[in-house]
Amino acid sequence: MDAASNRSPGCRSCGAEDLRTILSLGRTPLANSLIAPDDLKTPEETFPLDLIFCPACTLVQIAETVSPEKLFREYLYFSSYSDTMLEHAATLCRRITQSRELNERSLVIEIASNDGYLLQYYGQQSIPVLGIEPAVNIASVARERGIDTISEFFNAELATRLSNSGAQADVIHANNVLAHVANLNDFVAGLKLLLKDTGLAIIEVPYVKEMIDRCEFDTIYHEHLCYFSLTALDKLFRRHSLRISAFELLEIHGGSLRVFVESRDAAATDSAVTPVADWLRKEEEWGVGNIDFYQQFAAKVETLRRDLVEKLNGLKADGKQIAAYGASAKGSTLLNYFGIGKERLDFVVDRSPVKQGLFTPGTHLPIYAPEKLLEDQPDYVLLLTWNFAAEILKQQRAYRQRGGRFIIPLPEVTVV
């Protein structure tokens, strides 16, 4: 069922209207709209999924905006079910607590705080925290864990209310949320309002160059409105009198950027020889502002589709049973765009209990607990959550010792 959505008339960051198409994935269901058994016969809503590029500020984005109320008020992704995410959060919290000398008089805020997976590590050190999480079901879980959490979408209006009530932050975390924001300028204006003059915002986003280089097209879905370079972030923050004082490249989620953002008023004078300035020059060299760099992406995706479908078809022709691991948003994009469904896969397993017993959007594959792999012992498992490959391969040692093999689809089809 085709559903109404909102196509942006201009760039989400700078407003420019001369936007170029990189890749069209057609109409797809919402990636996290898992289906209850009783709803399998109900037509699913689908929305256009087109990746576009802004030459003016270099931001890569999708053209359509689906209502955040539809996407995020009830959510099925709980960060605490990933050991990788927990360790990632704990390591960062220990580091920031020490470097910023945080204590019981400080305040740490996380935007899109999920189930408290990150803020819990500050709370364990008696550092006051506040979570902002619009998904009502997830915010409820965080509060049950003792994490003070409000169920609202973050914007400048909310930041003003919190700031006026005295809730200004020493540190603001925003992990994998900026990419979900339709009104980037309103969000960043809110950061500026909510930070103390000496405060620090730490923001993580998937890195667009890694997405292109590694053919990570499955990162594209309706929740992910934007795909950032350091250049695009720099232009966005400068517009609001903020500056990126440092950045890091991370392996998590297939390649991410972590930027440290401070007020320009409190920061040292910009220099042309800082690591940030040097990296901005490197991005210019690899073509961050040139549509030609991005247009190679579509051809890579088509090659990957051919290779993966041929691999699965060959295995099925040999009588092999194939399952999938990870009822993830990434997996939804891959399965629906590549046309991989019941004719090639028997079922999906996922570690999250809230997904078990449901069915995947579009492809209607049943979702079970990971123990199903040992019960049925399929010959192969397509690893849809390839970004957590090391963790999952370790967890599934028993299945692999029995002869089971994993197919990792990106950046190229590999069997392990």
Query: Is residue 111 situated within a structural domain?
Result: yes
How confident is the model at residue 80, as a pLDDT? 73
Same domain, 114 and 193: yes
How confident is the model at residue 272, as a pLDDT? 55
Select from 262, 289, 316 the last residue of a domain. 289
Same domain, 94 and 205: yes
How confident is the model at residue 82, as a pLDDT? 80
Query: Is residue 71 situated within a structural domain?
Result: no
Same domain, 113 and 223: yes
Indicate the number of domains in the chain. Answer: 3
Same domain, 311 and 396: yes
Distance CA 393, CA 416 (A): 9
How confident is the model at residue 3, as a pLDDT? 54
Q: Looking only at Cα atoms, what is the longest distance across the chain? A: 66
Query: pLDDT tens across 63-74, in order?
Result: 999 988 788 766
Same domain, 263 and 149: yes
Same domain, 105 and 248: yes
Query: pLDDT tens across 21-45, in order?
Result: 999 999 999 998 999 999 999 999 9
Q: Which residues of 71-105 are buried (b: 16+ CB within 10 A; e: fewer)?
A: bbeebbbbbbbbebbbebbeebbeebbeebebeee
How confident is the model at residue 269, as a pLDDT? 47
Query: pLDDT tens across 81-138, in order?
Result: 788 888 989 999 999 999 999 999 999 999 999 999 999 999 999 999 999 999 999 9
Query: pLDDT tens across 118-134, in order?
Result: 999 999 999 999 999 99
Query: Is residue 295 situated within a structural domain?
Result: no
Query: Is residue 265 situated within a structural domain?
Result: yes
Select from 64, 94, 109 the last residue of a domain. 64
Same domain, 102 and 168: yes
Query: Is residue 163 situated within a structural domain?
Result: yes
Query: Is residue 103 situated within a structural domain?
Result: yes
| Residue 153, domain extent | 79-289
Same domain, 58 and 92: no
